[in-house]
Amino acid sequence: MASRLLVLLAALALFALRAFARFRRAVHAISNHPGYRTLLNTLGPIENFFPRIPGVAPGAFHMWKRKHRDFEEHGWDVITYVTAFIGSSTNFYVADADVIKEITTHRSRFPKPIEQYKVLTFFGGNIVASEGEHWKRYRKIAAPAFSERNNKLVWDETRLIMQDLFTNVWGERAEIHVDHAVDITLPIALFVIGVAGFGRRIPWQDEDVVPAGHTMTLKTALHTVSENVFTRLLIPDWLLRAAPTARLARIRDAFAELEQYMREMIRARREHPAREERHDLFSSLLDASKDADVRLQDSELIGNMFIFMLAGHETTAHTLCYMLAMLAMHPEVQDKMYESVRCVTQNGRLPEYEDMRSLSYCEAVLYETLRMFPPVSSIPKSVAEDTAITITNADGERTTVPMPKGSSISIHTPGLHYNPRYWRDPHTFRPERFLAADWPRDAFLPFSAGPRACLGRRFSETESVAAAAMLVLRYRIAVADEPRFAGEGARARFERVTASRPGVTMTPTRVPLVFRRR
């Protein structure tokens, strides 16, 4: 027994020595540039299971929670993360706009690590989870879909959806209390992507009607899938099929239901092609994929439909929710936005798509919301070859940081968006900063940057501005008063209302609002 214990201890000691030697080599390879040195690699979904323990793990949701603080403590806007044991690796956190521009521009040196996007390929290959020739093919098919005609369709349909909400759901009520603003913004985003994305109009009255042949609505299926993609990634197929718990059964059914909805859309469009010209994304995707050189298989068509749905639904819904929260907590900004919309839409008319350029303050409010609440905390890249970057800190000091082949990069969106080198008083909600002609565009990455920037950026912006403008024209928005929070200070209220949790995109926890008729 004693000999076995000695063998075990010797094996553990050898493992520890090898890990330590590997760790030392990794630190030496980056010239010991400042940053995290930890035992565990908790990058990715696993990080949310660990508390912040110095030297062990940086903590759950740490990129969002700490924002630019780590960079300030280490003195540079590029810091390193080297781990010793489980999942040993070297990662670079980047909040330097010049370095980010270099990374996003030079795709051959810093490609997208598509293995990290496996979570988005359940239904098939797609433009987000691809690189190289596959990505070029998907982009050639998808890019024409995001056209000016589609943007106008987004605006017009958003306006109709908001009018339907006001007339047939809220009616003549003077006050509407909403326990969580996503209860409003998720359906808005779903209805917009439904019609502008897939030519499928869903009235508010039918949002909870389950169609024949289904067990849940499209809204429920899509929302359940978007909330559980990481859970689905971690669960083996056999366990999901067995579904020993009600939650797993619901996840399994949601994935099956969503795939069925998408297959039905494809079949209906092929069996009954429209005679009139359509400008929704799905029609453009189908038309483009008729080219024999780039034709999509059904699994690829479904995979890209899923990405359009996920991005057009969850990302926009959460952004709009944060935007309404910020308007509610900053009544002076809300008043200014109301006046700007009212001036553009004189004589009581509704805002048109052609007015969007004149609604610059609305766009500024949206951009400031996206700056403070970027949809994702990290944009991953990888290092394809031994290289180096030269950086300058806030004190004007310069240094060169080696980046060994095989390392990973996290473009640290909160660190960039809260970096005082680019944004004065970064923790203050100030939309006016985006009205200046020289605002720092390279330090604003809610939709990524470079060739891999989000194709649907204008789709999302158009929808958000149209929905917010319609709401502000008709209602005053305020945070709902709740007795349990009586006496709460402004800072505590801000932290409560903007509390977030991780997901496919950053997710607001609860935003209770009241809408009062003007």
pLDDT in tens, 342-395: 999 987 789 999 999 999 999 999 999 999 999 999 999 999 999 999 999 988
Q: Across residues 24-28, what is the average pLDDT? A: 89
Residue 274 has pLDDT above 80, yes or no: no
Instruction: Classify residue 212: in a domain, yes or no.
Output: yes
Q: Which of 475, 417, 471 is nearest to 446 (CA)?
A: 417
> Residue 461: what pLDDT?
96
Same domain, yes or no: 234 and 346: yes
Residue 487 has pLDDT above 60, yes or no: yes
Same domain, yes or no: 224 and 287: yes
In angstroms, the CA 175 to CA 510 distance is 19
Contacts of 492 (CB under 8 A, 6+ apart): none
In angstroms, the CA 262 to CA 440 distance is 40
Q: Which CATH number does the domain housing residue 187 bear? A: 1.10.630.10
Of 414, 437, 464, the position where a domain reaches its end is 414
Q: Which of 130, 184, 450, 412 is nearest to 316 (CA)?
A: 184
Report the run of H or E that residue 466 belongs to, with start and end: helix 457-474
Residue 4 has pLDDT above 70, yes or no: yes
454 annotated to a ligand binding site: yes
Of 398, 414, 430, the position where a domain reaches its end is 414
Same domain, yes or no: 145 and 279: yes
Residue 187 has pLDDT above 70, yes or no: yes
> Residue 86: what pLDDT?
61
Instruction: Classify residue 138: in a domain, yes or no.
Output: yes
Same domain, yes or no: 369 and 386: no
In angstroms, the CA 259 to CA 225 distance is 11
User: Could you give the number of structural domains in the chain?
Assistant: 2
Same domain, yes or no: 146 and 107: no
> Residue 57: what pLDDT?
79
Same domain, yes or no: 361 and 406: no
Same domain, yes or no: 403 and 460: no
Percent of the chain exceeding pLDDT 90 equals 55
Instruction: Categorize the per-residue pLDDT at 43 as very low, low, confident or very high, splitting at 50, 70 and 90.
Output: low
Same domain, yes or no: 20 and 164: no
Q: Which of 174-178, 301-305, 333-337, 472-476 has the lowest mean pLDDT?
A: 301-305
Q: Across residues 208-213, what is the average pLDDT? A: 88
In angstroms, the CA 74 to CA 58 distance is 14
Instruction: Classify residue 42: in a domain, yes or no.
Output: yes
Place of tokens 């390279």: 442
> Residue 46: what pLDDT?
62
Helices (H), 193-330: 198, 218-227, 229-234, 237-242, 246-271, 281-288, 298-310, 316-329
Same domain, yes or no: 42 and 151: no
Q: Which of 115-129, 163-177, 416-430 has the lowest mean pLDDT?
A: 115-129
Helix (H, G, I), strand (E, B) or coil at 167: helix
Residue 444 has pLDDT above 90, yes or no: yes
In angstroms, the CA 427 to CA 424 distance is 9
> Residue 468: what pLDDT?
97
Instruction: Categorize the per-residue pLDDT at 87 as very low, low, confident or very high, splitting at 50, 70 and 90.
Output: low
Residue 299 has pLDDT above 70, yes or no: yes
Contacts of 227 (CB under 8 A, 6+ apart): 503, 507
**Do the bridges between strand 408-412 and strand 513-517 make them parallel or antiparallel, or are there none, so unpaired?**
unpaired
Instruction: Classify residue 433: in a domain, yes or no.
Output: no
In angstroms, the CA 149 to CA 146 distance is 8
Residue 47 has pLDDT above 90, yes or no: no
Q: Which of 436, 319, 334 is nearest to 371 (CA)?
A: 319
Residue 38 has pLDDT above 90, yes or no: no
> Residue 493: what pLDDT?
96
Same domain, yes or no: 370 and 388: no
Instruction: Classify residue 102: in a domain, yes or no.
Output: yes
Could you say which DSSP state residue 498 is in? T
Name the residue range of residue 368's domain.
133-375+446-517
Instruction: Categorize the per-residue pLDDT at 291 as very low, low, confident or very high, splitting at 50, 70 and 90.
Output: low
Q: Across residues 50-79, what is the average pLDDT? A: 89
Of 414, 432, 466, the position where a domain reaches its end is 414
Same domain, yes or no: 137 and 109: no
Instruction: Classify residue 308: in a domain, yes or no.
Output: yes
Same domain, yes or no: 233 and 152: yes
Instruction: Classify residue 425: in a domain, yes or no.
Output: no
Q: Across residues 56-64, what is the average pLDDT? A: 84
**What pTM does this model have?**
0.91
Q: 355 with 502: CB under 8 angstroms? A: no
Instruction: Classify residue 475: in a domain, yes or no.
Output: yes
